[in-house]
C-alpha cells in the first residue's frame, strides 16, 4: 500500500513574512487580517501578529484604516527609507498625509483616521516638518486653517487658488489685465477678418480664435509671472462671455488637434453689442445669480452687498 504524504505548511517566521508580502502584492490596495488568516489557517494568531509587527517595525508594511477595520499595504522602498527610524505612530500619520496627495489634509481628518490624541498629532507633525518630510500649506478656502502634504508636492489649485491668487490674496489687477489683453486679441482678429473684404460668412468664420491661440498670444506677451494653462485662459474668456464681449461656439475636431478635447474644440470671437444695455442690467442686481434669494434680514441682503457698495462708490 502506497503511503500518502501530506504537505506540511511552513510556520517559519521568515516564510510567514514573505507570504504576507506576496498577498500584499496581489492586493495593492491592502489586505485585512482575515485575508491573511484565510490564506494561512495553519498559522497561529500569535505567530501572525509577530510577523505583521516585524514587517511594520522594519518599514515594509503600511498600517491603514478604513470602514472595515485595519488594512496592511506593502510600502514602496522610497517611502520606507524616508520614515526609517520613526515609530509606528509617526509612520501612520505620514502615510495618511501621503494618501491625501497634493490636496492635503486637515489636522482634524488626520486625528479621525489615526485615532491619536491631538497633542500627539501636533508633536508628530512638528517632527515630520523639521525632517522636511511634510509641509503645511494655507488654503484659500479657509485662511486660518492649514493642510498638510508631502514636502515635495506642488499644492493643488483648489488649495492655492491657482494663478489668480498670491499669498492667499486675489490678484484682481492681474485678472483685469488678462481680461483686457484677451479681448484685445479677439478684437484684432475680428478687425482683420472685416478688412479682408471677403464674404460675410467667411469673415465671420475667420474672426474666431481657439483658446490655444489666445493662450499662445498671452504667453508671448510675457505679462504673467506664473505659468498659465489653457484652462486659466478659458476661465478669463468665460468672464468676457458673461460680460457680453465675447461669444463661443463648439465645433467638431479631429483627435489630436491642438486645443481639442474629446473630439470638440471651443472657438471664441469678440462681439460688439447691437444696442447698449439698459441701466438696470448695468447694476449688480441685474447680473446677480442669487437675485431671488436676496432680501433684507436674510443671509444675502442689499444692505450688506459689497458689490452694491462698490457700484455706488463713484
- d(CA 194, CA 167) in angstroms, rounded, equals 44
Sheet holding 209-210, edge to edge: 209-210, 264-270, 246-252
Q: What element of type H or E holds 165?
A: strand 165-166
Give pLDDT tens digits for 123-168: 999 998 888 888 988 877 666 678 898 888 878 777 777 777 776 6
The mean predicted confidence, pLDDT, of the chain is 80
Task: Give residue 231's pLDDT.
Answer: 86
Half-sphere CA count of 244, side-chain side, radius 13 A: 9
Name the least confident of 9-23, 80-94, 223-237.
Answer: 80-94
Distances (CA, A) of 28 to 23, 61, 79, 101, 131: 9, 11, 15, 17, 28
Give pLDDT tens digits for 159-202: 777 777 776 677 778 888 999 999 999 999 888 888 888 888 88
- Among 297, 310, 146, 175, CA closest to 239: 175
Q: Examine the pLDDT at 115 and tell me if it is beyond 60.
A: yes
Q: Report helix, strand or coil for 12.
A: coil
Give pLDDT tens digits for 251-304: 887 776 776 677 788 899 888 766 666 666 667 787 777 788 888 887 788 888
Of 1 and 126, more confident: 126
Partners of 165 in the β-ladder: 170
- d(CA 161, CA 218) in angstroms, rounded, equals 20
Partners of 131 in the β-ladder: none
The fold of the 172-270 domain, in CATH, is Arc Repressor Mutant, subunit A (1.10.10)
Task: Please give the model's pTM, rounded to 2 decimal places.
Answer: 0.50
Q: In CATH terms, is domain 81-161 a member of 2.60.110.10?
A: no
Task: Give residue 182's pLDDT.
Answer: 92
Q: In CATH terms, is domain 13-75 a member of 1.10.10.10?
A: yes
Of 223 and 65, more confident: 223
Task: Give residue 9's pLDDT.
Answer: 57
**Which distant-in-sequence residues (6+ apart) come within 8 Å of 208 by Cβ?**
189, 249, 267, 268, 269
Residue 87 CA to its chain's centroid (Å): 30
Q: Examine the pLDDT at 5 and tell me if it is beyond 50.
A: no
Partners of 267 in the β-ladder: 210, 249
Q: What residue spans in the chain does CATH classification 1.10.10.10 cover?
A: 13-75, 81-161
Query: Hey, CA dihedral for 54, 57, 60, 62, is it positive or negative?
Result: positive
Q: Examine the pLDDT at 65 and tell me if it is beyond 80.
A: no
Name the least confident of 24-33, 56-65, 89-98, 172-181.
Answer: 56-65
Task: Spell out the alpha helix ranges (H) of the chain.
Answer: 13-26, 33-39, 45-57, 77-82, 88-100, 107-114, 118-130, 157-160, 172-195, 200-206, 211-221, 230-242, 279-282, 284-287, 306-312
Give pLDDT tens digits for 39-60: 888 888 888 888 888 888 777 7
CA angle 138, 144, 149 (to 5 degrees): 30
SS3 content of the chain, % helix, strand, coil (to 5): 50, 15, 35
Amino acid at each position: 500500500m502506497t503511503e500518502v504524504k501530506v504537505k506540511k505548511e511552513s510556520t517559519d517566521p521568515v516564510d510567514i513574512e514573505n507570504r504576507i508580502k506576496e498577498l500584499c502584492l496581489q492586493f495593492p490596495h491592502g489586505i485585512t487580517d482575515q485575508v491573511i488568516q484565510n490564506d494561512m489557517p495553519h498559522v497561529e494568531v500569535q505567530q501572525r501578529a509577530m510577523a505583521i509587527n516585524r514587517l511594520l517595525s522594519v518599514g515594509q508594511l503600511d498600517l491603514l484604516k478604513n470602514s472595515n477595520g485595519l488594512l496592511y499595504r506593502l510600502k514602496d522602498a522610497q517611502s520606507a527609507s524616508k520614515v526609517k527610524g520613526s515609530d509606528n505612530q509617526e509612520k501612520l500619520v505620514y502615510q495618511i498625509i501621503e494618501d491625501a496627495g497634493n490636496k492635503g489634509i486637515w489636522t482634524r481628518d488626520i486625528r479621525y483616521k489615526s485615532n491619536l490624541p491631538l497633542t500627539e498629532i501636533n508633536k508628530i507633525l512638528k517632527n515630520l516638518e523639521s525632517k522636511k518630510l511634510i509641509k503645511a500649506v494655507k488654503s484659500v478656502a479657509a485662511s486660518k486653517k492649514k493642510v498638510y502634504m508631502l514636502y515635495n508636492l506642488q499644492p493643488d489649485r483648489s488649495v492655492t487658488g491657482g494663478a489668480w491668487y498670491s499669498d492667499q490674496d486675489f490678484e484682481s489687477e492681474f485678472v483685469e489685465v488678462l481680461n483686457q489683453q484677451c479681448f484685445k486679441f479677439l478684437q484684432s482678429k475680428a478687425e482683420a477678418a472685416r478688412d479682408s473684404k471677403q464674404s460675410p460668412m467667411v469673415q465671420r468664420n475667420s474672426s474666431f480664435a481657439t483658446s490655444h491661440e489666445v493662450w499662445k498670444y498671452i504667453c508671448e506677451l510675457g505679462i504673467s509671472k506664473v505659468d498659465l494653462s489653457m484652462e486659466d485662459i478659458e476661465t478669463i474668456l468665460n468672464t468676457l462671455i458673461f460680460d457680453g464681449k465675447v461669444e463661443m461656439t463648439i465645433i467638431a475636431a479631429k483627435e489630436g488637434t491642438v486645443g481639442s478635447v474629446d473630439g470638440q474644440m471651443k472657438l471664441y470671437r469678440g462681439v460688439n453689442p447691437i444696442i447698449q444695455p439698459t441701466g438696470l442690467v448695468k447694476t449688480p442686481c441685474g447680473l446677480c445669480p442669487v437675485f431671488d434669494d436676496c432680501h433684507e434680514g436674510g443671509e444675502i441682503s442689499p444692505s450688506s452687498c459689497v458689490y452694491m457698495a462698490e457700484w455706488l462708490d463713484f
